[in-house]
């Protein structure tokens, strides 16, 4: 039981896929301009990671090592197509915002990385939990980045206004949004700062 808990909660901080394993940055950061698409993306990745881990763990003894990459890609691509169709059916607006990034979950290194590193050598239930843990660990970073970018970039959270209208310069106030937050480079700088804070609190992760 304690082992299973470790698989589930380890990726939240000590073994976080984004800031410790440096995986899955590719398709992640561009969806963090606002909080809502970031949450949808995090859930999609969690579902795909969990189920691809489960399926590959069930298949792990039947797949020859030479062709395993292709088999993994087919399993992952099939899951991503399912997720994409569901998103298109139920949250069409957000699916439009996410555009190509849903398709890029296929090549998201977290999914492949966890299948390669964990699911091929472990039992299905443990792999499933590991997938959920890593998906949520990834989502955590996405939500933190999106929180700062939406709050400072457009003054709202999840579309609700946080900074009062009357503060803005156009209304005679003193405040103005930081437009730079909406540009892609800021996402990288915020992740850099998250890594900085995280590693200064966890000294064992620092590089010598």
Partner 1 sequence: MESLNIFIRSIFIDNMVFAFFFGMCSYIAVSKSVKTALGLGAAVTFVMVMTVPLNYLLYEYILRPGALHAWIPAVPESVDLNFLSFIVFIATIAAFVQLVEMIVEKFSPTLYSQLGIFLPLIAVNCAIMGGSLFMQQKVDAGELDTLWQSIVYGLGSGLGWWLAIVMMAAIREKTTYSHIPAALKGPGIAFIITGLMGIAFMIFSGIQF
Query: Which residues contribute to the site for partner 1 (CB under 8 A)?
Result: 19, 22-30, 69-70, 73-74, 77-78, 80-81, 84-85, 99-100, 103-104, 106-109, 112, 180, 183-189, 191-193, 195-197, 199-200, 206-207
- Residue 115's alpha-carbon distances to 20, 56, 164, in angstroms, are 17, 7, 46
The token pair at 204 is 């064992």
Closest contact distance (angstroms) between CB of 129 and partner 1 is 23
Quick one: 24 or 155, whose CB is closer to partner 1?
A: 24
Alpha carbons 139 and 31: distance in angstroms, whole number:
11
The token pair at 15 is 């073994």
Closest contact distance (angstroms) between CB of 189 and partner 1 is 4
Quick one: 62 or 66, whose CB is closer to partner 1?
A: 66
Alpha carbons 16 and 19: distance in angstroms, whole number:
6
Closest contact distance (angstroms) between CB of 108 and partner 1 is 7
CA contacts within 13 A on the Cβ side of 45: 37
Cβ atoms of 35 and 156 closer than 8 Å:
no
- Residue 156's alpha-carbon distances to 25, 49, 55, 146, 160, in angstroms, are 24, 30, 40, 11, 5
Quick one: 40 or 126, whose CB is closer to partner 1?
A: 40
Quick one: 117 or 189, whose CB is closer to partner 1?
A: 189
DSSP secondary structure code for residue 181 in this structure: G
Closest contact distance (angstroms) between CB of 90 and partner 1 is 16
Quick one: 31 or 129, whose CB is closer to partner 1?
A: 31
Quick one: 73 or 143, whose CB is closer to partner 1?
A: 73
Cβ atoms of 129 and 53 closer than 8 Å:
no
Closest contact distance (angstroms) between CB of 63 and partner 1 is 15
Alpha carbons 100 and 108: distance in angstroms, whole number:
12
Closest contact distance (angstroms) between CB of 141 and partner 1 is 12
């Amino acid at each position: 039981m304690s082992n299973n808990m470790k698989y589930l909660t380890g990726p939240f901080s000590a073994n976080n896929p984004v800031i410790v394993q440096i995986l899955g940055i590719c398709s992640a950061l561009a969806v963090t301009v606002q909080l809502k698409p970031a949450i949808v993306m995090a859930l999609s990745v969690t579902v795909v990671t969990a189920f691809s881990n489960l399926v590959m763990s069930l298949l792990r003894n039947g797949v020859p090592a030479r062709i395993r990459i292709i088999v993994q890609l087919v399993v992952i691509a099939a899951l991503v197509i399912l997720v994409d169709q569901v998103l298109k059916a139920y949250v069409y607006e957000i699916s439009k915002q996410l555009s190509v990034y849903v398709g890029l979950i296929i090549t998201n290194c977290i999914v492949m990385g966890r299948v390669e590193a964990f699911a091929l050598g472990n039992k299905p239930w443990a792999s499933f939990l590991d997938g959920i843990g890593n998906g949520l660990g990834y989502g955590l970073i996405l939500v933190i980045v999106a929180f700062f970018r939406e709050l400072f970039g457009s003054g709202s959270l999840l579309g609700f206004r946080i900074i009062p209208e009357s503060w803005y310069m156009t209304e005679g106030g003193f405040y103005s949004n930081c437009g730079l937050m909406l540009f892609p480079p800021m996402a990288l700088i915020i992740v850099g700062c998250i890594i900085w804070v995280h590693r200064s609190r966890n000294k064992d992760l620092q590089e010598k």
